[in-house]
Amino acid sequence: MDNFLQRNFQWFLLCGILLNIPGLWLDVMAPDSALYATIAKHIAQHNDWVNLYGDGHDWLDKPHFPFWAAALSYKIFGVNGFAYKFPSFIAWLIGIYYTYKVAEHIFSRYVAQLAVVIYLVALHGVLANFDVRAEAILTTTIIAATWHLIVAKKKAHHIIYAAIWAAMAVMTKGIFVLVTIGAGFVLYWMICGEWRQFFNWRWWLFLLLTIVFITPELYCLYTQFDLHPEKVVFGKTNVSGIRFFFWDSQFGRFFNSGPIRGTGDKFFFFHTLLWAFLPWSVLLYVACIALIRRGGVKDNPVKWILYGSAIITFLLFSLSKFQLPHYIIILFPHFAILVAHYLLTVRLQRMKKSFAIIQTCVLLLIAIAAIALVYIIKMPLWWLLPVIAVIILVITFLSASQELLATAIVRSYAVAAVLYIFLFFFFYPFVLQYQSGRHAAKLVGIRPAGMYNLYDYDFEFYAPQDVSRLPSIDSFQRFTSKPCAVFMPSRIADSIVQHNEHAKLAGTFNYFHITELTADFINPKTRENVTEKRSLVYFY
């Protein structure tokens, strides 16, 4: 197996990166990604790097760093979907490097290579490079900070690098990420009885430097909110941005006491991983069971820096009342290293054969499901996918190795190839047609643009200029008294065009909330019944 990894690692690396690239050129998906892309657009177009504006008001929900990164990318590439996604993709590439370094340091070069091979194509990680929020940046900053802290025990200057990465993590998601970064170290010290480490100046210096490095975020929050208690945020005045950042944003959600609340299911992430970590999810469950059975506290205890971080964070996520599937992505490097180490310690041939059979079944199930969907949905050129899938299957089975683990890995990559070709060349291009705002924005031109009786984030993002929200008939009438373009429901547009000689219909588009697909939408016979019509109207 070691020789197989050594010979083929660069090819797996190239293949995994190539499978992630097509999503960079697809449209930004609404609602969340388009909203965040619009917030960064406001920064770039107004050169306002302090205040965040989104959804028509001052924005407090997320810290600044991902928006700064996207806005800087806009300055280089222009305001477009690729520019929004590019910083996260670069962060993901850096995360591959740090995943390798952590695995190599704790285990071996071969574990590091296999961990990277696994991490490259884990489903929700790939989707995070397409439907970009903050997870790619957050995942990399966490694993990078972890690596530098591990090395800092012998090379103290790495504390500075660890604090820089940790500060970027905090300015991406909030102070809670320090729990994920530090929990594994605390558990490791307890297991090894290294109680003196709790008083080691290095770790306290790390915390101090992290606080120093997040001062840009604190300054922005204080300037935008704490200095303006009159602003209405979450329906209240006197809202402190500093308090929200340190408490309500993270711990308020965990205890369900903040302004943003949810309802939790303690087993949510257990079943989420079944699809989110494809094609490796079954192997992850097996590896976790093996870890529990073996224990292995005395055997290479430094691994508990990694495993402890994953376990404690996973438990906290599971106990939280606010849960979303993409939260779990930050632990994908940890999971990839866990699975890689487990697979390379398996000696029983029957176990290796079982893994090859499991991954073969996953491959066949994914191929059948993808082919069935392109046919049922009646996607353009649907017949191409069965041809591509058959070619991949034939090549995969003809290249079967006598090394059963190698066979399992190759078939896992065949799963990834079929799945991501289906998603990025068939499924998403088809459903993105129903993001009507993207298509309407193409027709806006240099006219002032507005939205009436609807809020559409992708229209806001793709329109060349700022988009005015027109919440009332008075604001609508004032806005349309001059030449402009207004996006609105077609039922209203038809009436306006019929009765207003200064109004002209520019285009009508189909809309569906594509992140919440239904059986009626998937079925071509009932699709028209569940789609809305939205129109762009020119006013002269």
Asked if CATH classification 3.40.190 holds for the domain at 435-539, the reply, yes or no, is yes
230-239, 331-340, 407-416: lowest mean pLDDT where?
230-239
- Residue 72, pLDDT above cutoff 70: yes
Give the CA distances from residue 2 to residues 6, 113, 350, 356, 401, in Å, rounded to whole numbers and listed in that order.
6, 10, 19, 17, 14
The full DSSP string for 216-256 is: HHHHHHIIIIIT-TTS-BTTBSS--HHHIIIIITTHHHHTT
Instruction: Give the C-alpha separation, 125 to 281, whole Å.
Output: 13
Instruction: Give the C-alpha separation, 480 to 502, whole Å.
Output: 9
Average pLDDT for residues 178-205, to the nearest whole number?
Answer: 93
Tokens of 321: 């009342």
- Residue 441, pLDDT above cutoff 90: yes
Tokens of 218: 């604190």
- Residue 311, pLDDT above cutoff 80: yes
11-15, 188-192, 261-265, 399-403: lowest mean pLDDT where?
261-265
Burial class (CB in 10 A: 0-12, 13-18, 19+), 190: middle
- Residue 168 backbone class (left: φ over 0; alpha: ψ -120 to 50; beta: rest): alpha
What is the band of 296 on the pLDDT scale with cuts at 50, 70, 90?
low
Q: Phi first, then psi: what are they for 79, rounded to 5°?
A: -80, 105
* 262 SS3 class: coil
- Residue 257, pLDDT above cutoff 70: no
Burial class (CB in 10 A: 0-12, 13-18, 19+), 164: middle
Chain segment 490-532, per-residue pLDDT in tens: 999 999 999 998 999 999 999 999 988 899 999 999 999 999 9
Tell me how long the chain is: 540
User: Strand pairing partners for 503?
Assistant: 539
Strand order of the β-sheet with 449-452 is: 467-470, 449-452, 484-489, 532-539, 503-511
Chain segment 350-372, per-residue pLDDT in tens: 899 999 999 999 999 999 999 99
Residues 467, 419 contacting (CB under 8 angstroms):
no
- Residue 299, pLDDT above cutoff 80: no
User: Strand pairing partners for 507?
Assistant: 536
Average pLDDT for residues 318-337, to the nearest whole number?
Answer: 90
- Residue 250, pLDDT above cutoff 80: no
Instruction: Give the C-alpha separation, 270 to 315, whole Å.
Output: 10
Instruction: Give the C-alpha separation, 200 to 142, whole Å.
Output: 21
The pLDDT value recorded for residue 170 is 97
- Residue 111, pLDDT above cutoff 80: yes
Residues 264, 319 contacting (CB under 8 angstroms):
yes
User: Strand pairing partners for 233?
Assistant: 236
Burial class (CB in 10 A: 0-12, 13-18, 19+), 308: buried
Average pLDDT for residues 32-54, to the nearest whole number?
Answer: 96
The pLDDT value recorded for residue 256 is 60
| DSSP state at residue 331 | G
Mean pLDDT of the chain: 92
Instruction: Give the C-alpha separation, 252 to 443, whole Å.
Output: 43
pTM of the prediction?
0.93
Tokens of 227: 């200095």
- Residue 80, pLDDT above cutoff 60: yes
The pLDDT value recorded for residue 347 is 85
Chain segment 8-31, per-residue pLDDT in tens: 999 999 999 999 999 999 999 998
- Residue 285, pLDDT above cutoff 80: yes
The pLDDT value recorded for residue 298 is 62
- The position carrying tokens 């909203």 is 35
Which helix (H) or strand (E) covers residue 535, if one does? strand 532-539
Average pLDDT for residues 387-401, to the nearest whole number?
Answer: 90
Which helix (H) or strand (E) covers residue 504, if one does? strand 503-511
The pLDDT value recorded for residue 219 is 97
Residues 261, 255 contacting (CB under 8 angstroms):
no
In the chain, domain spans: 37-345, 349-433, 435-539
Top-confidence residue, 16 or 260: 16
The pLDDT value recorded for residue 199 is 92
Residues 512, 521 contacting (CB under 8 angstroms):
yes
pLDDT over 90, % of the chain: 82
